[in-house]
Amino acid sequence: MVSPADILNSGILIVDDLEANVQLLEQMLRVAGYTRITSTRDPRAVCDLHRANHYDLILLDLRMPGMDGFQVMEGLKEIETDGYLPVLAVTAEPAHKLRALQSGAKDFISKPFDLAEVLIRVHNLLEVRLLHEAARNYGKMLEELALNDPLTGLANRRLLADRMSMALVHARRNRSAMAVVFLDLDGFKQINDTLGHGTGDILLKMVAERLLATVREEDTVARLGGDEFILALWHVSGIDYASLAASRAIEALSQPYDIDGNVVRITTSAGVSIYPDHGEDAETLLKSADLALYEAKHAGKNTWKIAK
């Protein structure tokens, strides 16, 4: 929900070529409790100001010399790419009201100003604007949660599947190879049991950071859940690069971790599969790498094995 304090702390820009109108509107708003008010008498400056400050509301005079409010709104549309134009049109001409709404303004106020009308329309538009922003941010958060692991921020299963699909298309088209490295932390359950799940969560986040540092920008690091991680490596030269990536990951993760004054050490086992040698689709490659991981665990852990 939008609070009264949020509304009063919104960013407002007043645009009018007449100083008297600017002063009057600013005085009305400040007396009502609004704190973040900016003004300009130059309509040409509006777009740059909005691009830099992202105002929650622009009180825009429609009739100004050199560049009118309708032209300003056309420029603002290029900035507000989501289609929401936070403009309250200001006009003394009744005929301009409908045109202003058709041009994207959300509402209008008439000259000469009526104090009660100005304050009600400003309040209502700011409330709508802030609700719109909250809804958009919530939508972004849901989208991120749908594609990323909420603990580490790494790709989740869904995003991994999309990235592997693209990598496989690229590999088939270019007759090249791609690789999957399946990693599992050795003894992670013991850390949770002895130091607590809070420490375990911090360790997983640190593991994620180290894994990201071992791969190229185009590669994907994913967390499947628990202490299982995947490296999906684009356009590799074959077993040489894949084995090097697995070795680098194991070495990076074996370095000690300082967590709340505790020095934590952990090792990692890994299984590696290569397209097309060990599978021609994502599911088969993951299964092949998982079987190779099992072999690495069986061989004494803290090592990697190639799929057969």
Paired strand residues for 91:
110
Distance between CA 105 and CA 238 in Å, rounded?
58
- Residue given tokens 């622009």 in the structure block: 58
- Return the number of other C-beta atoms located less than 10 Å from residue 308's C-beta: 10
| DSSP symbol at 113 | P
Which is catalytic among the residues 16, 56, 61, 227?
A: 227
Distance between CA 69 and CA 130 in Å, rounded?
23
Distance between CA 39 and CA 14 in Å, rounded?
4
- Residue given tokens 């130091």 in the structure block: 195
- 6 catalytic residue (yes or no): no
Task: Give strand ranges (E) for 162-249.
Answer: 177-186, 220-225, 228-236
- Residue given tokens 């665990």 in the structure block: 297
State yes or no: cis peptide before 94, omega within 30 of 0. Answer: no
Distance between CA 179 and CA 69 in Å, rounded?
57
CB–CB of 98/89 below 8 Å? no
Give me the active site residues, please.
227
